[in-house]
Structure 1
């Protein structure tokens, strides 16, 4: 049972240890970064509202795909979103001719985005991104406790890129974070947010393995039940044909991925690294499969070694990001959840040089895509990058290096194991 397998010899696996030190960053750092994020979000919302009102050409961002899919839901034509030709025609009618935002989300996510299609562009973006950012920061605050400011500084590139493109990384990060809070309390209600991860199930595979290995069947059943209910609701609202359309859309996306038509430089997977190094897609997929098995193997090994619960759950969150070939920099808010849980163990075991290495690896993993986007924009201008050009992807390499370093550090004994402050994670 999970109650014993994750306890690590402690009666309360939810109690992690933080050390009160003079070098701990003040709340001022957290508030400063929070203000910067709010200003960035407000600036983006105002810009989107301006182009929507005809003050300039509409440059599409990822959030526009959410609104477009929502519009197709209300028109009863959501099946068309999963086909390249029809979706491209819709997008060209509202934005730049060279833009294309594919739609491969499971049908349940269509129910999430549909309400935002009823609102003006800027307002819809502000509500979606603002609400999910607020939820994410609240969860992260409970997980990180006094080290929230330091963690936000570490995650800043990932937070910025998620705001800029209006993606759902804060939503998935909130769900994974809520699940982790419940898992640390040995609360089977962790299955609720994990079931909602049906919107992006490939990012929660590690938690399925954890539930199976710890025989936490109640959490697994609740997660499966929640996913089934929402799948049934999507079928009822959208019609059974949406699942066939989704299947065809995923197959079509697989072809695009193989041909390198996605911005691989923004991906955080081993597949993207190997593919942009010039290897064939088959080789890249083989490497991705090996990395995914290794990542899941670390989760299994952590459970078998009966590591403390925060370490197991945190490692599960981080390692799960390496499983799928289709993962982007805006999915990295989940990394923040894992680092919040692993933080006390890492701080107690790392040297100053290793902490700098962790910082560099996180910034490279989360900021590489953002930096390359700016470089490519300056090089190719408004015409965009030519088809077939695949700039190097280093984010996945940095993420793999980060996981390896974290695992090596966790095998050590802490230099300063004295618990001076208990983290009231269940309070």
Structure 2
């Protein structure tokens, strides 16, 4: 059974160390190869653009003074074609201007060096944060997350940064709520992934963290307005509206998406029906957050549920957002051995592996654009498991436990 095989690794410190070293070397090798790929060295002189190419273009436009133009798909598409030296797939830009400002220093480096700096720094930050949360479970998590980490490295996306921010939020919230709130406020660069954490703060009445997060959002918005002008916000709103239409029409790589919307839409359900399916899944995900906050077996497990729910709410979520799942699993693992059977834990680990590996494998295959978004179905199944465990924990409380549940009261025989 997968759970028993993975958890067996934990029995020996030397074995854990070997797995960690091997996986870290493999990740470093992937980063090195992709650095040459982005730098267009050798056989990669002519290639399609990837996500980090868009990041680098935006960084350059910040210094050219016309970053607002990247929010117009026709204009940004021409910029991408010029960067590719010909026709290429077009990527719309819907990031808040705070992310534009964060990317700006990368414009001073060639594309390959900029990719290496961005990916190495954010990957290191993510791994350090994950290690601080996971402790002795770090090697097990690296194995489960390896496909998701490889996907994120491959496209040069910001999944490591957002994963680290959610991890820092969870790591600091209990004893350093201001730092936790500041980390959550920095998620303004990708606000749809912070909804679950915001609901958790409201449910637990963490007013200090809420104030800190709100301050980051407000101050950073004022700075962006001062630097880019107030028109940057209307440009962002216009781009979001335009991109929503493209999402409905299936112009995105839906097979790489991890949302319920993508899963249902690629299963031949019309966009309107898939949207309402997404609404239902998002509501259940937020219900899981509230249940975890109010009736969960421990604060760590509740925060783990919150982190995992973060990627289940928005219809616009990709496989490169999956590192956040690793943060959630790291927080939940200490309780999982008591509230979930080995079969259930195996299912959870397998679903995370599937979600990360699916887009990575399929992106090399013909016919990928019409493939189902299996990662979305995997996350729906994960949500069902989380709700099952939370309801099981709540039932144990109703049966006579008080305060935090005793570990043995939640044990589920295999």
Question: TM-score, normalised on structure 2?
Answer: 0.89
What is the CA–CA distance in structure 2 between the aligned matches of 1:119 and 1:255, rounded to whole Å? 34
Contact 1:183 1:313 in 2 (8 A): no
Q: 1-side partners of 2:333 and 2:365: how far apart?
A: 33
Q: Where does the alignment leave 5 or more consecutive residues of structure 2 unmatched?
A: 1-6, 397-404, 410-414
CA 1:19/1:57 → structure 2, altered by over 3 Å: closer, same or farther?
A: closer
Task: Please state whether the residue corresponding to 2:88 is helix, strand or coil.
Answer: coil
C-alpha distance in 2, partners of 1:332/1:97?
Answer: 30
Shift of 1:113: 0.9
Q: Over the residues paired in the alignment, what is the CA RMSD in angstroms? A: 2.2
Asked whether 1:259 is paired with 2:259, we answer no
Of Structure 1 and Structure 2, the greater helix share is in: 2
1:343 to 310, 328, 333: 333
Q: Show structure 1 runs of 4+ deviating over 6 A.
A: 18-21, 413-416
Q: Distance in 2 between matches of 1:21 and 1:259?
A: 46
Q: Give distance in 1, aligned partners of 2:213 and 2:8.
A: 35
Deviation, 1:185, is 2.5
**Structure 1 unaligned blocks of 5 or more:** 1-17, 380-384, 419-427
Correspondence list, 1:2-401, <5 A: 22=11, 26-51=16-41, 56-95=45-84, 96-185=86-175, 187-376=177-366, 389-401=369-381
Of 367, 389, 404, which residue of structure 1 is paired with 2:384? 404
Q: Contact 2:10/2:137 (CA < 8 Å) preserved in 1? A: no
Q: Whole-Å Cα distance in 2 between the matches of residues 21 and 58 of structure 1?
A: 42
Q: Which has the higher contact order (CA 8 A, sep 6+)?
A: 1
Deviation at residue 417 of structure 1 after TM alignment: 4.8
Paired with 1:308 and 1:329, the residues of 2 have a C-alpha distance of: 28
Question: Any idea what the Cα deviations from partners look like across 1:290-336, whole Å, max 9, x if unmatched?
Answer: 11011101111222225310011110000121110000000011100
Q: TM-score, normalised by structure 1?
A: 0.87
- In 2, the alpha carbon distance for the partners of 1:125 and 1:21 equals 34
Distance in structure 2 (CA, Å) of the matches to 1:236 and 1:353: 54
My pick for the range that moved more, 177-186 or 112-121, is 177-186
Partner Cα distance (1:241, 1:276) in 2 = 36
